[in-house]
Structure 1
Amino acid sequence: MLFSFLSFLLVFSAILVISAQNPVHSVFFLVLVFFTSAFLLFLLEVEFVSLLFVLVYVGAIAVLFLFVVMMLDIKITKYEKDLLFYIPIGGFLGVIFFLEVFLSLQENLVPFLPSSGREIYTDWLSVIDSLTNLNVLGQILYTYYFFYFLIAGIILLLAMVGAIVLTLNFTQKAKHQFVFRQILREKKNSMYLVK
C-alpha cells in the first residue's frame, strides 16, 4: 500500500515537474521526486543509495537548480498553441515506451532471464557470507565503473562552474583593477602632500 502510494506520488510529481509554468515550482516538484524515490529505495532495502539520493540530489543539485532559477530572472511564459501540438506526439511516444517495457518484462520474450519460480534449496553459506549493499556498490563502482565515476565528477564540476558564470553580472560601471599599471607606478607619482 505504501509502495503504491509513493510510486503514484513519484509519477504525479514527475509530471508536474515538466508541466508547471513557474520554474521555481518545477524545482520544488523535482525535490519531491527525489524524496519519494529515496523513500522507495529505502523500502526496497537499498539504504545507502537512498541516503545518496537525499544528500546528493536534494542537498546539492536541487538547491543549485533552485538558486540558479531564482537568480536568472526567468520570465514565466504562458502556454502557446504551438505547445499543444506536441502533446499527442509525447503521448504516442509514452505509449510506445510503456508497451516496450511491458513486452520486455515478459519471461518468454527474454530467454536468458532466470525463471521467476522460487527455489526450494537455500544455500545458507552464501546467505551468511554475502556482502552488504555498500560493499558491493563500492567494489563495482571503483573497479568496473571508475571511468564513469570520474566523468560524473567532471560533469558536476562543469555544472557548478556554469552556474557561477550564469549568475555573474558584467556591467560597464564596475570598477576594475589593472595590476600591471599598479605595479609600474613610481613613488614620486603616487605620493603627494595634501594641504
Structure 2
Amino acid sequence: MSEFTFFYLFAGLILISAFMTITVSNPVHSVLFLILVFVGSAAVLLLMEVEFLSLMFIIIYVGAIAVLFLFVVMMLDIKLSSSNNNYLRYLSIGGFLGFLFFVETYYLVETSVFAPQVDSSLVLESSYQDWITRLDTLTNMECLGQFLYTYYFFHFLIAGIVLLVGMIGAIVLTLHVNHTSKNQLICKQLSRQVKNATFLTTIS
C-alpha cells in the first residue's frame, strides 16, 4: 500500500469521526469519536514525517484534553438529550464552510499531486553522497530534545510544576469527603501495642 492510500484512509477516518462527534446524542460517545479524530490527525502528521507534532497530538490532545473531557462528562452525569435538534438551521452555514474547505483542498491537491511531472531520463543528477552531512543531520525530535533538556530545562521544570499544581487543585475541588463513613486512622493503628490490643474476658 502506498503513502497516498494510507493518507486517504486516515483522512476518511477523520472526516467520519468528526461528523459523528457533532451528530451523536451521547456525550461520552462524542468524546470517544473526538479522540479518534485526534488519533487520525496524528497518523496523518506521522505520514508527513512530522514526528514531534504527531506525538504532541497523542500526548496533549488525546492523553490530556480528550481524557479530561471524558472525565468531566462522566462526573457531571449529563443526561442523554433526545435527538430532536433541528440540524437544518445550521445546514447553510455548514454547507458554506464545507464548500470553502473543499475548494481549498482541491486547489492544494491539484497543484501538488497532479502537477506536471518532469521526465527523469532528461534530468542529470549527481550520484555524489555527502555521508558526513547525512550522518550529522539531526531529526526534529533530536533537535527539540537537545534544546528542551539543555537550554530550556528550567522552563520545562516550571511547566511540570504548574501542571502538577493544576492536577492537585482539580483533585481537591472534586474530592467529596464523607465524615459519616468509616475510615482508617493509620497513625492510631500503627501506634497500637499488645497490652492495649489484647483483652481477656471471663465468660460466666
The two structures have a TM-score, normalised by structure 2, of 0.56
Report Cα offsets for 1:62-111 as digits up to 9, x if no partner.
Answer: 2211110001122222344543210222111211233234446775xxxx
Give 1:67's aligned residue.
71
User: In 2, are the aligned partners of 1:72 and 1:167 still within 8 Å (CA)?
Assistant: no
1:8–1:165 Cα change, 3 Å = farther
Q: Which has the larger radius of gyration?
A: 2
| 1:4-19 matches, cutoff 5 A | 4-19=8-23
Give 1:50's aligned residue.
54
Give 1:131's aligned residue.
138
| 1:80-99 matches, cutoff 5 A | 80=84, 82-99=86-103
* Mapped pair 1:41 → 2:48: no
Structure 1 unaligned regions, length at least 5: 108-115, 143-148, 176-195
Give the whole-Å Cα distance in 1 for the aligned partners of 2:171 and 2:87. Answer: 31
Give the whole-Å Cα distance in 2 for the aligned partners of 1:162 and 1:53. Answer: 25
Q: 2:36 aligns with which of 32, 35, 53?
A: 32
1:18 positional shift: 1.6
- RCO higher in structure (CA 8 A, sep ≥6): 1
Residue correspondences, number = 163
Q: Taking every aligned residue pair, what percent have the same amino acid on both sides?
A: 51
The two structures have a TM-score, normalised by structure 1, of 0.58
Give the whole-Å Cα distance in 2 for the aligned partners of 1:158 and 1:84. Answer: 44
Report Cα offsets for 1:1-20 as digits up to 9, x if no partner.
Answer: 23322221122112211221
Give the whole-Å Cα distance in 2 for the aligned partners of 1:77 and 1:27. Answer: 15
Give 1:21's aligned residue.
25
1:6–1:139 Cα change, 3 Å = same
Give the whole-Å Cα distance in 1 for the aligned partners of 2:60 and 2:37. Answer: 13
Structure 2 unaligned regions, length at least 5: 112-116, 150-155, 181-204
1:162 positional shift: 9.1
Report Cα offsets for 1:123-163 as digits up to 9, x if no partner.
Answer: 73654432212134457889xxxxxx9xx99x978986996
